[in-house]
């Protein structure tokens, strides 16, 4: 499968996850978020950027518990809950936040637990 974005054709899996996280850009994130029908608010951007930063440093996708810890530091205790994370990404952290962040589809279901 592919995703046409600007003058590029990017390889994706059958669910639209990028096969190469290096193809990602903030402009592409905006497009993926539009397709997912989740406009990128400041709080959503905080999660997406956390996923990207984690990936850049560790070459892996962070589990949701690490995202919640980052949310606590950046957004405050009241917003650092799984309930709020699902408010931001209704289909799940792994299914939407990681997709918007340009990750391959996470294989571990623990990302959303």
In terms of Cα–Cα distance, which of 100, 35, 4 is closest to 61? 100
CA–CA distance, 51 with 61 (Å, rounded to integer): 7
Q: 89-112: string of b/e by CB count within 10 Å (b at 16+)? A: beebbbbbbbbbbbbbbbeeeebb
Is residue 99 within 8 Å of residue 17, measured between CB atoms? yes
Domains, the chain, in order of start with CATH, read: 2-112 (1.10.10.370)
- List, for residues 19-65, the tens digit of each pLDDT value: 999 999 999 999 999 999 999 999 999 999 999 999 999 999 999 99
**Full-prediction pTM beyond 0.85?**
yes
Average pLDDT over residues 65-84: 95
pLDDT of residue 108: 65
Is residue 32 within 8 Å of residue 61, measured between CB atoms? no
């Amino acid at each position: 499968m592919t995703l046409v974005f600007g003058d590029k054709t990017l390889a994706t899996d059958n669910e639209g996850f990028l096969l190469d996280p290096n193809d990602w850009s903030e402009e592409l994130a905006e497009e993926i978020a539009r397709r997912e029908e989740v406009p990128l608010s400041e709080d959503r951007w905080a999660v997406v950027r956390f996923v990207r930063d984690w990936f850049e440093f560790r070459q892996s996708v962070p589990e949701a518990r690490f995202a919640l810890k980052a949310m606590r530091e950046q957004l405050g205790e009241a917003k650092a809950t799984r309930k709020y994370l699902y408010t931001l990404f209704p289909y799940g952290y792994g299914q939407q936040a990681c997709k918007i962040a340009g990750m391959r589809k996470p294989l571990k279901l623990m990302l959303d637990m």
